[in-house]
Amino acid sequence: MAVLSLTASGCVTVHGELAVVPSVKRSEAAKALTAFVDAYNAADKAYDPALDKGRVTGALGAINQAGLRSKSVTSPGGNPHHTDLVLNDPRFTIPKKAGWPRWFVADAAPAGQQRTGDNEVRWLMAFVRESPDADWKAAYLTTMAAGATPRFTTGSDGYAVPPTGADLAVAPARLSADYASYLQTGSPDDFAPGPHTDRWRADRARDAKQPASTVQYADQPLKGGAFTPLALSTQDGGAFVFFATRYFQRQTTAAGYRPQVAADVRPLVRGTVHTKLTKDWMSSQVAEVPASGKVAVISRLEGVTGATGS
């Protein structure tokens, strides 16, 4: 798999492709979004991961597929509460780059919400295509109020500008490793206070020791392939970055006690839970990286993708 390189050049050369071109035509981007929504609706209605496996990848794909696998067991007849997802007013932000993979961002409003104007909820999704013969797949997803969505930098031709990395407080390629290290140790001190940084570390510390049990965390960076960070420059001189991490959460109970296993986790458990339950989490973040100062992690989408009992 070709890996997107967020180096000073801002592009990669794959199979001799040197031209920096738009990643996708807007009409093709619209078709990719429609194909994702159709597959998502079919999979959610049937609780069948096979129905949208070909339209998701990376962090979003791991979370989506594990969730559907679990629900196919807990609700084998499908989703009795399914309502079709409809995305209105789609907008597409398309960078120019050389080689593969290529990617773009879709921004759309789900139908049926009561919010309007700046408070309207928007879905921001990063789509990736690995090669000329591959389908477009959704790799990252976040939701934001319309008034908070980023203002991307575009050139005179209307296409988005990827950052070089050298012009930012933290290069996008470093974010996953820095974030994983920060969650483990508090260092490097690159991250602004918030619910996904210092407050999450405080929550972990609070929950680490409970009556008759302890909880440990191990965070790992994810930097390559389908988990490559995707970044676009913003008009304030910073960047908007999608990136992923993985973490393990192990609960150990005292003799005579057993970790409780949630109903949606139980289908994903390997082994038998006696005194230990280790959950494997996929975590997808969106960050605003300034030219100088600290990184703001503004959203986090996570899900259990596997578990082990012992």
69 located within any domain:
yes
- Look at residue 5 and tell me if it is in a domain: no
In a domain, 300, yes or no: yes
CA geometry: angle 163, 19, 108, nearest 5 deg: 50
Peptide linkage before 188 cis (omega within 30 of 0): yes
Looking at the domain assignment, is residue 145 inside a domain? yes
The pLDDT of 131-153, averaged and rounded, is: 96
Cα dist from 58 to 49, 61, 90, 138, 275, whole Å: 15, 5, 22, 8, 32
Quote the mean pLDDT of the chain: 93
Structure tokens at 99: 């080689």
For residues 114 and 31, which has the higher predicted lDDT (pLDDT)? 31
Alpha-helical regions (H) of the chain = 26-46, 58-74, 175-185, 198-207
Each residue's pLDDT tens digit, 29-57? 999 999 999 999 999 999 999 999 999 99
| 299 is a domain residue | yes
What range does the domain containing 234 cover? 21-309
Quickly count: other Cβ atoms within 10 Å of residue 133's Cβ: 6
In a domain, 98, yes or no: yes
pLDDT digits (tens, 9 = 90+) for 199-245: 999 999 998 988 899 999 999 999 889 999 999 999 999 999 999 99
Q: Is residue 3 part of a domain?
A: no
Q: Which pLDDT belongs to residue 17?
A: 64
Which backbone phi and psi does 225 adopt, to 5 degrees?
60, -130
72 is a domain residue: yes
Listed in sequence order, the residues at least 6 apart from 168 whose beta carbon sits closer than 8 Å to its beta carbon are 238, 239, 289, 290, 291
Domain count, the chain: 1
